[in-house]
């Protein structure tokens, strides 16, 4: 026998069902398909002139019999049935708890779909027929206060005060500014010890990406936080900042997000998380894949923002396999370093040629040497640009340019005591090391490595040197882009899948390092397709920044020439 409370609850629920049917019949377009968070109650499906389905739903049309395991599962369930023709998603008042429990799912709905009906005592309805991002409509950010405090959880008023630039945040290892952490200027005294990348050698390409993002974005303040920071520091980020930016790198590979950007870490951030220009990292011919744990973190990130940007179509396809579709294929922000909507590539010649070099292992090492020798033999002047892991060559170049090159020998005196002996390497020792390390190279190429090679800790130095060349080719992604963004004709020698996807997007001339014969004929290459692709990439970056509420410095009026002679000098505006 039912008690009075049970009878009252049944009556109130019955009234809810009747109100829901009436509201849906009056408010939703006829002959549409409606998903209802029903908990298996068929009474909720009885709506005139509409097809109504359970949510979650089994393939046979019945109620799935369980709740989603997490927000990612709820998003996948929604997008699956949306692709099958669902037009609306309905939360009866009895299911409002979903909006708190599945927080990322709620954010996904609020940022990508329109709220069609809200009756606080009956239901909430989302119109899922068209995504806001697909229509390039203005998407209003969920307020930080509502996400943090749970007050008016469905509020969508913008947080920023009118006229104020965004306040940005990032992890300490992905700083923007000038790529040097909290210090803005780089003095000559600091050149040998980089406060962001540590002691040389380090990859100048990562610094170039940081500088490009900082150059393109406009912001009022910038905060950095260590991933291991206490809760109160994350609360400060959530209270003070508008967007959490992650500098893109080649981190779309198995295990990266599972290890470094775990859901537990990401959930501490209650503002939109946006990564800019992320790329894949796979060997040439390797089949790209990610771990389930990677997808869990990625879905959280993408559920918090309007969109993130990737470097090429392979990365976008890989994300789509995990049910992630709010992706902009922008390429790397370094491509549009000049900040101009158009670019013009000069005619190539063999007068003054550079090779951007990557440290490789056999057999790719020998193939790179073959290509380098072919280019050297055709060049008037030939310079090798070291940029990343070429430790032996970098030490030699710095010593040749007058820097003292030190090393150390460590001796363990006990488990807790170590003695270090300072060792200063002489120029002759380092020259011998280079000759030995590159003994597989042709004699003329070894001579170039010893006498006409370049390395610096400064992006400005690279831009200045590469911008003066008549033709550049090589295996270094950002070394090549440093030349190409200034209108220098550049040929990409492909040795991994990240270069493949970038050259596909940029439509820039390329050749595989695994080609049967190392041969380069600059007369057969055309950079006009790249000039067209550049305009598209530039326009996509503008849309990407604006839909995420990121103020930017990109010009939107067309120009007729690249005007890239000022590129290196523009570094002065951000403190180098």
**SS3 string of 493-545?**
EECEHHHHHHHHHHCCCEEECCCCCCCCCHHHCCCHHHHHHHHHHHHHHHHHH
Spatial separation of the C-alpha atoms in residues 397 and 61, rounded to whole Å: 69
Domain count, the chain: 3
* Residue 574 in domain: no
| Same-domain check for residues 452 and 323 | no
Q: At what angle do helices 292-304 and 71-83 cross, to 10 degrees?
A: 80
pLDDT score at 319: 94
166-175, 236-245, 279-288 — which is least confidently predicted? Answer: 166-175
pLDDT in tens, 458-490: 889 999 999 999 999 999 999 999 999 999 999
**Nearest 5°: phi and psi at 213?**
-65, -45
**Mean per-residue pLDDT for 102-130?**
88
* Residue 544 in domain: no
**Mean per-residue pLDDT for 352-370?**
92
Taken as a whole, the chain contains a residue count of: 576
**Contacting residues for 275 by C-beta, under 8 A, at least 6 apart:** 245, 246, 247, 248, 301, 308, 309
* Residue 341 in domain: no
pLDDT score at 489: 97
pLDDT tier for residue 254 given thresholds of 50, 70 and 90 = very high
| Same-domain check for residues 183 and 127 | no
Q: Is 368 in contact with 357 (CB distance < 8 Å)?
A: yes
**Mean per-residue pLDDT for 321-349?**
94
pLDDT tier for residue 255 given thresholds of 50, 70 and 90 = very high
CA-to-CA dists, residue 161 to 155, 243, 547, angstroms: 16, 14, 17
Ramachandran quadrant class, 474 (left: phi over 0; alpha: psi -120 to 50; beta: rest): left
pLDDT for 222 beyond 90: no
| Same-domain check for residues 326 and 367 | no
pLDDT score at 2: 61
Output the domain CATH number for residue 414. Answer: 3.40.50
* Residue 532 in domain: no
360-366: long-range contacts, CB 8 A cutoff, minimum separation 24: 360/475, 360/495, 364/495, 364/513, 365/440, 366/440
* Residue 160 in domain: no
| Same-domain check for residues 492 and 396 | yes
Q: How many CB atoms lie within 10 A of CB 149?
A: 11
Least Cα distance to 77 among 101, 99, 60, 59 occurs for 59
| Same-domain check for residues 489 and 431 | yes
| Same-domain check for residues 320 and 362 | no
| Same-domain check for residues 325 and 465 | no
- Give the domain extent around 401: 352-525
Cis peptide before 56 (omega within 30 of 0): yes
* Residue 159 in domain: no
* Residue 284 in domain: yes
* Residue 343 in domain: no
Burial class (CB in 10 A: 0-12, 13-18, 19+), 445: buried
Cis peptide before 374 (omega within 30 of 0): no
pLDDT in tens, 512-532: 998 878 789 999 999 999 999
pLDDT tier for residue 165 given thresholds of 50, 70 and 90 = confident
- Tokens at 555, concatenated: 């010009």
- Please list the alpha-helical segments (H only) found in 170-291: 204-216, 231-240, 256-260, 263-266
Percent of the chain whose pLDDT exceeds 70: 85
Spatial separation of the C-alpha atoms in residues 358 and 493, rounded to whole Å: 11
| Same-domain check for residues 92 and 123 | yes
Spatial separation of the C-alpha atoms in residues 524 and 262, rounded to whole Å: 47
Radius of gyration of the chain (CA): 28
Sign, CA dihedral 497-502-507-510, equals negative
pLDDT score at 560: 38
**Mean per-residue pLDDT for 128-153?**
44
pLDDT score at 300: 93
| Same-domain check for residues 122 and 216 | no
Per the prediction, the chain carries an average pLDDT of 83
| Same-domain check for residues 427 and 508 | yes
Helix-, strand-, coil-residue percentages of the chain, each rounded to 5 = 40, 20, 40
């Amino acid at each position: 026998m039912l008690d009075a409370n049970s009878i009252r609850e049944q009556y109130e629920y019955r009234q809810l069902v009747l109100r829901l049917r009436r509201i849906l019949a009056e408010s939703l377009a006829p002959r549409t398909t409606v998903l209802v968070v029903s908990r298996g109650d068929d009474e909720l499906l009885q709506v005139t002139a509409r097809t109504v389905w359970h949510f979650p739903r089994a393939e046979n049309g019945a109620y799935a019999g369980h709740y989603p395991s997490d927000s990612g599962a709820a998003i996948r369930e929604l997008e699956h049935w949306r692709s099958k023709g669902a037009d609306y998603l309905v939360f009866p008042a009895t299911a409002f708890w979903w909006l708190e429990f599945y927080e990322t799912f709620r954010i996904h709905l609020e940022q990508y779909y329109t709220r069609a009906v809200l009756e606080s005592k009956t239901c909430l309805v989302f119109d899922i027929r068209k995504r806001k991002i697909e229509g390039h409509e203005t998407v209003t950010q969920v307020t930080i206060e509502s996400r943090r405090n749970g007050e008016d959880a469905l509020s969508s008023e913008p947080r920023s005060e009118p006229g104020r630039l965004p306040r940005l945040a990032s992890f300490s290892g992905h700083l923007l500014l000038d790529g040097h952490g909290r210090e803005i200027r780089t003095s000559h005294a600091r050149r040998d010890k980089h406060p962001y990348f540590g002691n040389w050698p380090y990859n100048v390409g990562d610094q170039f990406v940081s500088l490009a993002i900082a150059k393109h974005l406009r912001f009022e303040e910038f905060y950095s936080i260590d991933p291991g920071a206490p809760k109160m520091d994350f609360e400060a980020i959530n209270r003070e900042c508008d967007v959490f930016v992650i500098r893109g790198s080649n981190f779309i590979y198995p295990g990266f997000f599972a290890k470094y950007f775990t859901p537990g870490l990401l959930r501490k951030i209650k503002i939109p998380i946006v990564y800019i220009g992320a790329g894949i990292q796979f060997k040439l011919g390797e089949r790209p894949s990610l771990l389930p744990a990677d997808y869990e973190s990625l879905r959280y990130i993408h559920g918090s923002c309007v969109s993130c940007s990737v470097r090429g179509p392979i990365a976008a396809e890989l994300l789509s396999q995990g049910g992630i579709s709010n992706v902009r294929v922008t390429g790397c922000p370094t491509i549009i370093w000049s900040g101009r909507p158009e670019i013009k590539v000069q005619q190539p010649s063999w007068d003054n040629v550079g090779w951007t070099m990557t440290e490789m292992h056999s057999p790719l090492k020998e193939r790179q040497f073959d290509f380098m020798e072919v280019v050297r033999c055709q060049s008037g002047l030939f310079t090798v640009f070291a940029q990343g892991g070429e430790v032996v060559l970098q030490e030699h170049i710095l010593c040749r340019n007058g820097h003292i090159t030190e090393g150390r020998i460590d001796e363990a005196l006990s488990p807790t005591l170590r003695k270090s002996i300072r060792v200063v390497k002489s120029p002759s020792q380092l020259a011998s090391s280079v000759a030995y390390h590159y003994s597989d190279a042709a004699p003329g190429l070894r001579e170039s490595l010893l006498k006409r090679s370049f390395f610096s800790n400064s992006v400005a130095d690279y831009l200045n040197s590469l911008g003066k060349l008549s033709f550049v080719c090589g295996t270094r992604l950002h070394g090549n882009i440093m030349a190409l963004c200034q209108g220098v004709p550049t040929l990409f020698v492909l040795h991994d899948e990240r270069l493949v996807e970038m050259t596909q997007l940029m439509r820039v001339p390329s050749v595989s390092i695994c080609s049967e014969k190392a041969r380069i004929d600059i007369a057969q290459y055309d950079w006009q397709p790249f000039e067209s692709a550049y305009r598209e990439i530039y326009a996509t970056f503008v849309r990407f920044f604006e839909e995420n509420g990121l103020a930017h410095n990109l010009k939107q009026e067309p120009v007729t020439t690249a005007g890239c002679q000022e590129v290196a000098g523009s570094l002065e505006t951000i403190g180098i």
